[in-house]
Amino acid sequence: MSSQSSSSPPPQRVHKLADYESIVGAEVLEDLRTFADNISGKTVIHVNSTRAGGGVAEILFRLVPLMREIGLNAKWEIIKGDAQFFESTKAFHNSLQTGARLATKESFDHFIRKTEENLREMSLDGDTMFIHDPQPIGLIAKRKSNAKQLWIWRCHIDVSNPEREVWNFLAKYVNQYDAAVFSTPSFARSDLKIPQFMVSPSIDPLSDKNRSLPETFIDRVLSKYELDSEKPLITQISRFDYAKDPIGVIQAFKLVSDHIDCQLVLAGSLADDDPEGMEVYSKVVKAAEGRKDIHILLIPPFSDLEINALQRASTIILQKSIKEGFGLTVAESLWKAKPVIAGATGGIPLQVKNGLTGFLVHNIEGAAYRMRYLLRNPDIAARMGLNGREHVRQNFLITRHLGEYLLMILSLENHAKGERFSNRFEEKEEEEAAAAQTHTVIPQTHPK
Amino acid sequence: MSAVTYLFSQSESQQHRNAPFIFLKARYIVELTGKKARTLEEFASILATAEPTTLFYHVYHPLLESHLVPYEYPNDFSFWFSDSFQDKDLAEQIANISLPEKGGLEELREILLSKINAALERNAQFSVRSGNEFDFVKCRFVVYPTGVVAKNIDELADGISQASELCVFYHMVTSRLFKKSRYDDFSEWILANTSYTDLAEAIRRVDPTTHMHVRSMQQEVLGIIQRYLKNKNRSSLGRKS
């Protein structure tokens, strides 16, 4: 099925699992193969709404080939939608994240119409279906009643305080799945009847966006965007989205630049499924008018090497989100050993450990103060950066992500089979009791 | 619903007297409960009925996680009591909790609730601000063999020396908690399959919660075995001469 997008990712080297060994260690890869051996040959289908822009597409672009390499028949499909559909789902998205009533009756009606069209055109016959975010959520109607399929709704956004009407509409779909997956514990819902797992998103350390780069390349990118390589650089990379508070970033920077000579880059692209992006971009440009030290860069999708270079050239990286699903740009920045100043929202506190890998802030003044602090204390900034890189290595790389999806499939399949795999632990107790009764003491080393 | 999935057959996992020690390990996946506490009363109420894996995950699993980013407190509960709930007294009490003496997580639940209920008398009204709630999770885990087995004490020492953190954590912490045993798997095997009672007793005195890293716990266990065997060899040689 083709995307509504005309843009496709440029070819990048497809990495093999073995390529990750020097970063994550041999044990991680051995374990992935062990898990995969137990579900080898099964078809896993991921469905989302775009191949271009945003963290979900980035992850699937990397994850699906790795799933294939370990023996799964992994596929990635995209739903179709027109402009009105994506305006509706953007209204859903904003309603879920802000609690504001933004969806209309027409939004719901159009969503249902387009979902029915997708249901007619898509053949979703995998063993495990990962349906990402609200846009394709209605595909659950495709579930075959007699098939042993696993349907998993993978939610990447914050639904902890949603607008009630939109959530109730979506929850009817969600409860038909076998499980839901959220990015942080705070997104979990007490009103769902299905198991909810936590799987953090991830970055690929070998991708163009995250691999190491020659200094000469970084210098060329700085020159291209007329940035001063001698001056401290503060950067926020994100979609032009109100939730990322780009105007707040500019206001915070202005508070800092009055005292310390530095420069700001706000760089991002426009995603296919985000019709609001251009409006936000225009407002950001206006807010930066007349400032030579503020650079607003509209970077096309898949400018991964340039984004990588900008992050690596930065002194401090911001992610001053007001609402955030997870904020993968934070993990990207920490991986480059940069201290991150970020809004205490969504999945950011899992990544930014306050005072250790960066600072969590709650307002413009907080962001400004922490920028001043790190600019004046480069040794502390460097130490935080190193902490952050190790934190990401252990917790937010794609190999961990793949492993958790496999563990979840194994665990759900185990439950679906209805087999009493466990409790060896319980049986141990029973056996000990029996042994005690007959006075035949057979000490057991392990649970049985 | 079972929290545990085994990637090997029951017969492979049978470990009897005169049977080799099979080194296992586990990986854990977080399952969300959707339960949040803003007050101590809510916290105690949720804790009272929480699944055992909730207690395990919040209190002991942090030992397995990265300590390159050091925390002031060793478990999720004490960190929240200090950082969000602002009750340092309670945080310190919860931080000092070891493995249950009699074995099993129900004993831990009782200990936790007794400390929290005592704190309730001085801190019944306080409520954390929105966004700082404690989110209770539970976990499922998948257990699988490492491919290493030990048929005698030397091989056990070799296996421990080369075991991963996941393996050591499983045998020293996870297994004993869920089989409701007072003792770790290594000492149980030694007791069942060797005459080294003193060695088993020495290993049983290792408290995982006194360690900041699984690696240091592993070194302590290994050191105990190595010293014991060295002394034994020495005394054996002494007798021969």
Is B56 domain-assigned?
A: yes
With cut-offs at 50, 70 and 90, classify the pLDDT of residue A11.
low
Supply the pLDDT for residue A442. Answer: 22
* Claim to verify: residue B54 and residue B106 sit in the same structural domain: yes
Q: Which of A2-6, A30-34, B28-32, B92-96 has the lowest mean pLDDT?
A: A2-6
Q: Which of residues 86-125 of B touch A (CB under 8 A)?
A: none
Supply the pLDDT for residue A144. Answer: 80
- Average pLDDT (A89-95) is 93
Its CATH architecture, for the domain A17-198, is 3-Layer(aba) Sandwich (3.40)
Q: Please give the distance of CA A154 from its chain centroid, rounded to a whole number.
A: 10
Instruction: Inform me whether the C-beta atom of residue B44 falls under 8 Å from chain A C-beta atoms.
Output: no
* Claim to verify: residue B128 and residue B174 sit in the same structural domain: no
Q: Do the domains A215-396 and A17-198 match in fold?
A: yes
Answer yes or no: do B2 and A420 touch at CB < 8 A: yes
Answer yes or no: do A445 and B15 touch at CB < 8 A: yes
pLDDT at A2 > cutoff 80: no
- ipTM > 0.90 for the complex: yes
Handedness of CA A49, A50, A53, A55 (dihedral sign): positive
Compute the mean pLDDT over every residue in chain A, rounded to the nearest whole number: 89
According to DSSP, the residues that pair with A222 across neighbouring strands are none
B179/chain A closest Cα distance in angstroms: 5
- Give the tens place of pLDDT for each residue, A36-70: 999 989 999 999 998 876 788 889 999 999 999 99
Contact B190, B203 (CB under 8 A): yes
For residue A50, give the amino acid letter.
Answer: T
- Average pLDDT (A327-355) is 95
Is B171 domain-assigned?
A: yes
pLDDT at A160 > cutoff 70: yes
Q: Which of residues 163-182 of B touch A (CB under 8 A)?
A: 164, 166, 175, 178-181
Domain boundaries of chain A, sorted by first residue: 17-198, 215-396, 422-448
- Give the tens place of pLDDT for each residue, A96-147: 988 888 999 999 999 999 999 999 999 899 999 999 999 999 999 998 876 7
pLDDT at B157 > cutoff 50: yes
- pLDDT higher at A427 or B150: B150
- Give the tens place of pLDDT for each residue, B23-72: 999 999 999 999 999 999 999 999 999 999 999 999 999 898 765 666 67
Its CATH architecture, for the domain A215-396, is 3-Layer(aba) Sandwich (3.40)
Is B24 domain-assigned?
A: no
- pLDDT higher at B212 or A440: B212
* Claim to verify: residue B66 and residue B99 sit in the same structural domain: yes
Identify the top-confidence range among A84-93, A264-273, A308-317: A308-317
Phi, psi dihedrals of residue A281, rounded to the nearest 5°: -55, -45
- Give the tens place of pLDDT for each residue, A384-400: 999 999 999 999 999 99
* Claim to verify: residue B225 and residue B156 sit in the same structural domain: yes
Q: Which domain holds residue B58?
A: 41-132
B241/chain A closest Cα distance in angstroms: 36
- Domains in chain B, number: 2
Contact B23, B156 (CB under 8 A): no
With cut-offs at 50, 70 and 90, classify the pLDDT of residue B14.
very low
Chain A residues in contact with B70 by the CB 8 A cut-off are 356
- Beta-carbon contacts of residue A152 (< 8 Å; ≥ 6 apart): A128, A129, A130, A131, A177, A178, A179, A180, A181, A408, A412
What are the tokens at B153?
A: 């004490």
Find tokens 């210098």 and name the residue: A219
Task: Look at residues B98, B132, B166 and tell me which one is the last residue of a structural domain.
Answer: B132
- Give the tens place of pLDDT for each residue, B74-90: 899 999 999 899 999 99
Chain A residues in contact with B175 by the CB 8 A cut-off are 446-447
* Claim to verify: residue B160 and residue B127 sit in the same structural domain: no
Is B121 domain-assigned?
A: yes
DSSP B20: P
- Average pLDDT (A23-48) is 95
How many percent of chain B have pLDDT more than 90?
A: 72
Answer yes or no: do B191 and A429 touch at CB < 8 A: no
With cut-offs at 50, 70 and 90, classify the pLDDT of residue A185.
very high
pLDDT at A149 > cutoff 80: yes
Task: Look at residues B79, B100, B132 and tell me which one is the last residue of a structural domain.
Answer: B132
A vs B: CB pairs below 8 A: 143
